[in-house]
Amino acid sequence: MTRIKVTILLEELLEAGHAAEYDAWHIDIGKGEQFSTGFVAINPNSKIPALMDHSATPPQRVFESASIMLYLAEKFGGAFIPQAPADRTEMFNWLFWQMGSAPFVGGGFGHFYAYAPVKIEYAINRYAMETKRQLDVLNRHLADRDWMAGPSYSLADIAIFSWYGNMVLGRAYNAAEFLDVESYTHVLAWARRIDARPAVIRGRMVNRTWGEPWEQLKERHSAADFASVPKRP
């Protein structure tokens, strides 16, 4: 889910008319490619996503998803960062909330609920309780607003959608019913608004190698590559 924050933002920048053309190379973490010398030179922590900006002199490496998002937004004139000081601060609040909170969802709930070889009821319940608390935080915040910060879609929406939006849309850990995601009505409405954006549809495909054929584009080196993705029946 972290991966798509950056590809969604890049596609949003292109959609908005910025010269943000990019290459997205697939890193097979199942084969340990994130530990290769070349990748470690870009991200010494061996995590995806990572970015190398060859338009900078000298080329600039950027790692950690929030750092990449802020780097790209600033590179293109503050795109998707609110201009009003209060809205800008609120955007940063929620962007870093996501960075601090999502590991509980991905590393904690996702692991114990979906991937752990031994099902531990206490661990599942503990992490599920915290995941539901976080969804409730979002639901209350979105009850009287369309976007996370200010009057417009921002980096905070992209980052939070990539985790929690996909979760309430039933794309994470087959846990939608268990978490009762339908009860978070404001989060669902917000997630559906974002999910319908053309740039989000494209960004979710990039570097994806699982799921339905029309959801996958292993590597993206130009906009023309999307033509190779089969149409949804």
Amino acid at 52: M
Structure tokens that stand for 232 in this block: 């949804």
Tens of pLDDT, residue by residue over 38-56, are 999 999 999 999 999 999 9
Better pLDDT: 69 or 3: 69
- Say whether domain 85-196 belongs to CATH 3.30.300.20: no
DSSP 207: T
Domain boundaries, the chain: 1-80+198-233, 85-196
Q: What is the DSSP string of 151-175?
A: TS--HHHHHHIIIIIHHHTT-STT-
Tens of pLDDT, residue by residue over 70-109, are 999 999 999 999 999 999 999 999 999 999 999 889 889 9
User: Is the predicted pLDDT of residue 1 greater than 80, yes or no?
Assistant: no
- Say whether domain 1-80+198-233 belongs to CATH 3.40.30.10: yes
- CA 171 vs CA 5, 12, 148, 166: distances in Å: 15, 21, 21, 5
**pTM for the full predicted model:** 0.96
The rounded mean pLDDT for the chain is 96
User: Residue 67 — pLDDT band, cuts 50, 70, 90?
Assistant: very high
Helix, strand counts (H, E) of the chain: 10, 2
- Indicate if 85-196 has the same CATH topology as 1-80+198-233: no
What SS3 state is found at 220?
strand
User: Residue 195 — pLDDT band, cuts 50, 70, 90?
Assistant: very high
User: Residue 137 — pLDDT band, cuts 50, 70, 90?
Assistant: very high
Contact between residue 207 and residue 3 where contact means Cβ atoms under 8 Å apart = yes
Tens of pLDDT, residue by residue over 153-163, are 999 999 999 99
